[in-house]
Amino acid sequence: MFVLGIDPGLTRCGYGLVERHAAGRHRAVAAGVIRTDPDADLPVRLAELQAEVRSLLGEHRPEAVAIERVLFQVNARTAMQVGQSAGVVMAEAAASGCRVALYSPNEVKSAVAGWGGADKEQMEQMVRAQLGIDRPLRPVDAADAVAVALCHLATAPTALAAEAAR
Amino acid sequence: MFVLGIDPGLTRCGYGLVERHAAGRHRAVAAGVIRTDPDADLPVRLAELQAEVRSLLGEHRPEAVAIERVLFQVNARTAMQVGQSAGVVMAEAAASGCRVALYSPNEVKSAVAGWGGADKEQMEQMVRAQLGIDRPLRPVDAADAVAVALCHLATAPTALAAEAAR
């Protein structure tokens, strides 16, 4: 089972594809950042993001897409852009037949690092530990996206059990 | 030239297709509301909206899509859902090769009714007057979307002049 984790954003949208292993040691298959041209108009950037996400879904055919939920931030304009990006990703993922799950930043931190107050460095260390990776995960948006995928694998036991029973 | 106006939303997304006439009397070609199932999950609803918008774009092949800009409202959750819907529409429209323009509610009111404080009833009357329609425009989301298209026709003179010179 492949899970595609997404840390949504317009300028930088992190993605991380994780393969589930029954023994619990999951494997990171691909991770990176989708960037769109900051000088382009918003609709063009959203269309770029849409095309990149569609390409990722077509290439890797994940069974589930886990997306970090957008919370309102101090900067309302940025929050709205991140929300619009998340909307585009959600629509593409659902249209491709994937299960789509949303997780708040706190849920991701709790699932991966054990508590909701974990900072970025602790999160990256926990992600590396869970995946058995001994070098730093960069860029950081990609590490965040991998964490969202791991959160899904940790917190969707019903779906996974059903899959295992097949 | 056809302009597709969109009043974005997840539960109700208004659309109005207006054909430009050189004499100034534009013509409403199609108007309606895209609804998605309120009981379905958010990603599924966004995918439904995406499919409907793609179908509209494919059927009518507008040259421009004019979308009402989402402003932050009292209800942040609703604003985010409307923003996500707008994001999906923007991505689809830009991907299909349309020009995409965003207008604030005040810009739409100013362009169509002559001042930014016009209420819904005044807006509907002005839309009907501009289109030569003698019966009420319903549902109201469709009338709003037609107003956004009329706003684009009124405020995109450069693009229209360039088109006319061809």
CB pairs under 8 A between A and B: 84
Query: What is the band of B133 on the pLDDT scale with cuts at 50, 70, 90?
Result: confident
State what percent of residues in chain B have pLDDT above 90: 67
Query: What is the band of B148 on the pLDDT scale with cuts at 50, 70, 90?
Result: very high
Q: How large is the average pLDDT for residues B4-26?
A: 91
Adjacent-strand bridge partners of A42:
none
Query: What is the band of A110 on the pLDDT scale with cuts at 50, 70, 90?
Result: very high
pLDDT at B74: 61
Task: State the ipTM, two decimals.
Answer: 0.86
DSSP assignment of chain B: -EEEEEE--SSEEEEEEEE--TTS--EEEEEEEEE--TTS-HHHHHHHHHHHHHHHHHHH--SEEEEEPP---S-HHHHHHHHHHHHHHHHHHHHTT-EEEEE-HHHHHHHHHSSTT--HHHHHHHHHHHHT--S---SHHHHHHHHHHHHHHHH-HHHHHHHHT-
8 A C-beta contact, residue A81 and residue B34? no
Size of chain A, expressed as the number of residues it contains: 166
Q: Considering the entire predicted model, what is its pTM?
A: 0.89
Helix (H, G, I), strand (E, B) or coil at A67: strand
Of A111-120, B59-68, B135-144, the range with the lowest mean pLDDT is: B135-144
Q: Interior CA angle at B46 toward A164 and A42, to 5°?
A: 120
Per-residue pLDDT reduced to its tens digit, B33-59:
999 999 999 999 999 999 999 999 999
Helix (H, G, I), strand (E, B) or coil at A133: coil
Residue A164 above 90 pLDDT?
no
Give CA–CA dist A96/A160, Å, rounded.
20
Q: Which member of B52, B107, B124, B141 is catalytic?
A: B141
Nearest to A83 among B41, B47, B80 (CB): B80
Chain A residues with CB inside 8 Å of B49's CB? Answer: 91
Domains of chain B: 2-165 (3.30.420.10)
Q: Considering only residues B15 and A155, tell me which one the structure prediction assigns the higher pLDDT.
A: B15
Is B39 one of the catalytic residues?
A: no
Residue B162 above 90 pLDDT?
no
Contact criterion met (CB < 8 Å) for A83 and B85 = no
pLDDT at A73: 65
Per-residue pLDDT reduced to its tens digit, A39-51:
999 999 999 999 9
Query: What is the band of A162 on the pLDDT scale with cuts at 50, 70, 90?
Result: low
| Closest residue on chain A to B45 (Cα) | A91
Residue A26 above 80 pLDDT?
yes
Q: How large is the average pLDDT for residues A125-150?
A: 89
